[in-house]
Structure 1
Amino acid sequence: MAFRRFLSSLGINAPSVETVPDRTAVRPGEQLGCTVTVRGGGADVTIERLTLQVVARFEDLEGGEHGWDNPGALLTSGVPGPFTLPAGATRTERVVFDLPWEMPLTHVLGGRRLRGARVAVRTELAVDNAVDKGDFDEFEVHALPAQDIVLQAYADLGFRFDEAECKQGTPSAAVRSQVGWWQEIEMWFPADYRRDGQNEIAFNARHDSLDLLTGGDGLLTFDYRELDPAQVTKVIDEHARSRFAQ
């Protein structure tokens, strides 16, 4: 997974840039390293800044249900500038992201893709006061084991996943989020709930536990050391029926 793009918008003497992430799949709380190689063009240039961002699809920024043209930044890192890149020279840099525990998921339950969920690394190169945002390379964020246990419980109870959306802000004042965005996972109710519409949940994960926000304000907290799939299913069923079943 890599891109190499000649910055044609900057002229025929422009440099090229290639970004190669260390791996294509991660989990929340892990690191993602990237190797960035900038190659000089036909003339010396001044690199004002070299910036890498971890970005995600925010539906409200796209102007359409399926767009992936205006991703929102989750994390930003880069190489301080300015620096001179001589004609034909090569400069290689390492950038490492510490992914937050609240990282939005793209894959769950052993590799099932969440519709609407996309994340990527985007590289921005500012050359002689001209900025080229380049392309962005997608990677996968797989659920933590605890998140998969919770999602499997919903699946076993008959809930059907619809899509996932990233949103700005925090899902509720009741959760202890350390970031300024969150992911909502939407699912259809089982038939025996006799309820129209969807159930919306959000995770707020940490290294030792996670909060499960249901229906906007219902809150359950699970300790990783005490997770029993059968018990989790029972707790979620009782909680959901007390709030939603007619």
Structure 2
Amino acid sequence: MVIHQGRGHLVAFRTFLSSMGINAPAVDTVPGRTAVRPGDELPFKILVRGGGADVKVDRLAVELVIRVEESETTETNWTDPHVLATSDTGAFALAAKEDREFEGSLAIPWEMPLTHALGRRLKGARCALRTTMEIDNAVDRGDFDEIAVHARPVQDAMFQAFADLGFRFDEAEVKKHFRNFQQTQTLGYCQELEFWFPASYNRQDQLEMTVITPDAESVEVIPGSTGSFLFTADELDVQRWTSWLDEFCRERWDR
């Protein structure tokens, strides 16, 4: 799977290069895989072909980007996503028609927002690789090549517990703020998962659940604005998730 150069940026980029009397270099990024989980490494190759003249590439980078809601009053933005990780080749000379290949990898953060759970796409969640090439201050950013970020087993177990209790998943949103009640959060964003209550809980609204997994062992659960609960990943199977979630809701809302 290849990241091709985006048409709008590519037109401007090639216009700049054409003004110098040359054809544009071409760049493709080939991910080693298109599905990952938090904590994985994502390898990739960058394939570069020189244009009609020698140039100096000031920057060539592959970026891991996510869709983020900027504030409570703005729509979730995918036209200018946030960069979570970058692998940069640095500057190099590219001869006309020369082929160059670079290899690298990006670490998928443990707190990475999910795009898939229980094998299904989560509405509102998007992640991609993006290639950026800069020559003499002219920047070309390639198309987003979307990457599926699947839930870890402990996270899938949570989604299954919600489903077993009759909750209906609505949307996933990534927000730029800290909810670091237990001092586990290391990044300045978190993902809120929105579930509609089943009729049995006498609620007509949603339960917003934030789950922070800073490493392979720890899980911080933040339901709505009611505080947080710290678990180890080993103790949260489907049965434990289900009993905990049901008990939590019973204590706060009549059935």
Query: What TM-score comes out, normalization by structure 1 length?
Result: 0.92
* CA positional deviation for 1:134: 1.9
Mapping of 1:45-56 within 5 angstroms?
Answer: 45-56=55-66
Identity rate, percent = 46
Matched residue, 1:159: 167
Deviations 1:143-163 (A, max 9, x none): 000011111111111110000
Distance change >3 Å, CA 86–CA 239, structure 1 → 2: same
User: Per the alignment, in what secondary structure is the counterpart of residue 70 of structure 1?
Assistant: strand
Determine the C-alpha separation between the residues in 1 that align with 2:139 and 2:64: 18
Determine the C-alpha separation between the residues in 1 that align with 2:127 and 2:15: 26
User: Per the alignment, in what secondary structure is the counterpart of residue 80 of structure 2?
Assistant: coil
Number of residue-to-residue matches in the alignment: 243
Deviations 1:10-53 (A, max 9, x none): 32422011001111100000000111111100001110011111
Which amino acid in the other structure matches residue 50 of structure 1? Answer: L
Distance change >3 Å, CA 141–CA 198, structure 1 → 2: same
The farther-off stretch of 192-201 and 222-231 is 222-231
Matched residue, 1:16: 26
Kept in 1, the 8 Å contact 2:67–2:76? The answer is no
Matched residue, 1:28: 38
Mapping of 1:63-102 within 5 angstroms?
Answer: 65=75, 68-81=78-91, 83-102=92-111
Whether 1:219 aligns to 2:224 is: no
Distance change >3 Å, CA 172–CA 66, structure 1 → 2: closer
Determine the C-alpha separation between the residues in 2 that align with 1:34 and 1:243: 48
Matched residue, 2:192: 184
User: Per the alignment, in what secondary structure is the counterpart of residue 171 of structure 1?
Assistant: coil
Mapping of 1:125-164 within 5 angstroms?
Answer: 125-164=133-172
Distance change >3 Å, CA 241–CA 210, structure 1 → 2: same
User: Per the alignment, in what secondary structure is the counterpart of residue 62 of structure 2?
Assistant: strand
Gaps of 5+ in 1: none
Which amino acid in the other structure matches residue 107 of structure 1? Answer: H
Deviations 1:87-134 (A, max 9, x none): 00011111211111100000001x111000000001110012211122
Query: What TM-score comes out, normalization by structure 2 length?
Result: 0.89
Determine the C-alpha separation between the residues in 2 that align with 1:99 and 1:67: 21
Matched residue, 1:3: 3
Determine the C-alpha separation between the residues in 2 that align with 1:29 and 1:136: 21
Gaps of 5+ in 2: none
Question: Which of 65, 68, 93 does residue 58 from structure 1 map onto?
Answer: 68
Determine the C-alpha separation between the residues in 2 that align with 1:195 and 1:225: 31
* CA positional deviation for 1:232: 2.2
